[in-house]
Amino acid sequence: MHILVVGGGMGGTILANNLARRLSGELEQGSTKITMVSASDKHMYQPGLLYVAVGKMSTSELYRDQKSLLEPTIDFHVDPVEKFDLDNNSVTTKSGKKISYDILCIATGSRGDAAAIPGLAENACQFYTEADAVAMYKKLSKFEGGKVVVATGVPHKCPMSPLEITFFLMDYFKKRGIWDKVDLHYTYPIGRVHSLAPVAEWAAPEFDKEGITYETLFNMKEVVPGKVISEEDSSAEFDLLITVPPHKGMKVIEDNELGKGGFIPTDKKRLNMEGRDNVYVLGDTTNLPISKAGSTAHFEAEALGENIAAIVQMGEPVRDYDGKVFCFIEAGDGKATYAMFDYNNPPNPQAPTSGLHWFKTAYNRMYWASARGII
């Protein structure tokens, strides 16, 4: 049995390690093999980019060697897949190597697509790559005051990031002593300040208290120097525009026509690609209507690890993914809260506390143990 994991981000890494532990006997006997192919020999802690953008984390803290995070029984190659031949259970990599599999797991992730909105990339700061996060910090550090607008595209990775970057910007400007020279204006695509109603009910009064203005039902249509225009025929003028850009799936998924927008149609419980019994999808790569977040990939990977191991050992999966998501929410002023929910249970976030902020700060370092599958 050959299990091929495509993608070495959070989902792929946790899944491969989970499988390597569950199938240690089969791996030792040689009856099962786990291969991972990825585009990079480095593993990035993507949530750290938010912190880099406001000077709270250094870029060196973002990375570990991918191989160091993997169980030694996993055969790891830096050789990204370029072609999927699902009918013949094989992929072709960049180097031209053809790899056959019995079970395929696709965890290629998503990417910011600022180019989807005319003028956005040229006029806004964003923080979804190391280069962009560093450029944003440089721009912030030279900013002396004026109108700052936060604008969010759809869909986007990490649903908490629009709120978190807004509160972090407030903290940053306060720390620099220029908060009284800043007008911070938050915009959001739907009719409240966050997707989750209880989070929106908490955040809007916080904005009011801090003097952060906001406009909802604001979907970016176009950006020109100094002004962002919405599909709803509204606009916001800015001296500095910060964006959570719209996202799409990876190019290789689009090129192979595996899913519209680069997101693969996926069964919400079994996590198999629709119409394929031996192809599984996890993390940002799915088209599931749930948060594109590291914790989603994590919980999906745990369910898939259990199921794929059961398929290898017993021929049948043993559980469904229940839609579990857990997201920290940095609330500024040294406090944080969290939202936890699944397909059947809505979130019920509590008031932010400094304890949760420190727990999140600790998790930023504990992540590496999480990727290894230790916690």
- Residues 288 to 307 in contact with another protein, rule: CB under 8 A: 289-291
**Interaction of residue 60 with another protein, rule CB under 8 A:** no
Q: Which two tokens stand for residue 12?
A: 């792929």
Question: Which of 18-26, 93-101, 190-198, 366-374 is the region at the interface with another protein (rule: CB under 8 A)?
Answer: 190-198
Question: Which of 127-135, 152-160, 172-180, 308-316 is the region at the interface with another protein (rule: CB under 8 A)?
Answer: 152-160
**Shortest separation between residue 321's beta carbon and another protein, angstroms:** 13
**Interacting residues of 171 by C-beta distance below 8 A, sequence separation 6+:** 54, 332, 333
**Shortest separation between residue 96's beta carbon and another protein, angstroms:** 32
**Interacting residues of 304 by C-beta distance below 8 A, sequence separation 6+:** 15, 18, 105, 271, 280, 282, 321
**Shortest separation between residue 66's beta carbon and another protein, angstroms:** 29
- Residues 69 to 128 in contact with another protein, rule: CB under 8 A: 116
**Shortest separation between residue 347's beta carbon and another protein, angstroms:** 6
Order of strands across the sheet with 220-224? 220-224, 227-230, 235-237
**Shortest separation between residue 160's beta carbon and another protein, angstroms:** 9
- What does 203-254 look like in DSSP terms, one character per residue? HHHHHHHHT-EEESS--EEEEETTEEEETTS-EEE-SEEEEE--EEE-HHHH
d(CA 326, CA 299): 9
Using a 10 angstrom Cβ sphere, with 0-12 exposed, 13-18 middle and 19 or more buried, the burial of residue 361 is: middle
Nearest to 324 by CA among 269, 363, 245, 284: 269
**Shortest separation between residue 216's beta carbon and another protein, angstroms:** 10
Contacts with another protein by CB under 8 A: the residue count is 29
**Interaction of residue 255 with another protein, rule CB under 8 A:** no
Nearest to 2 by CA among 36, 37, 32, 22: 32
Q: Are strands 2-6 and 33-38 parallel, antiparallel or unpaired?
A: parallel
Residue with Cβ nearer another protein (52 or 282): 282
**Shortest separation between residue 314's beta carbon and another protein, angstroms:** 29
Residue with Cβ nearer another protein (133 or 163): 163
Rg (CA), the chain: 21
- Residues 301 to 360 in contact with another protein, rule: CB under 8 A: 323, 325, 327, 339, 341, 343-344, 346-347
Residues 337/353, Cβ–Cβ less than 8 Å: yes
Identify the residue among 246, 317, 332, 349 touching another protein (CB under 8 A): 246
Query: Under the rule (CB under 8 A), what is the footprint of another protein?
Result: 116, 154-155, 159, 189-191, 195-197, 217, 219, 231-232, 246, 260-261, 289-291, 323, 325, 327, 339, 341, 343-344, 346-347
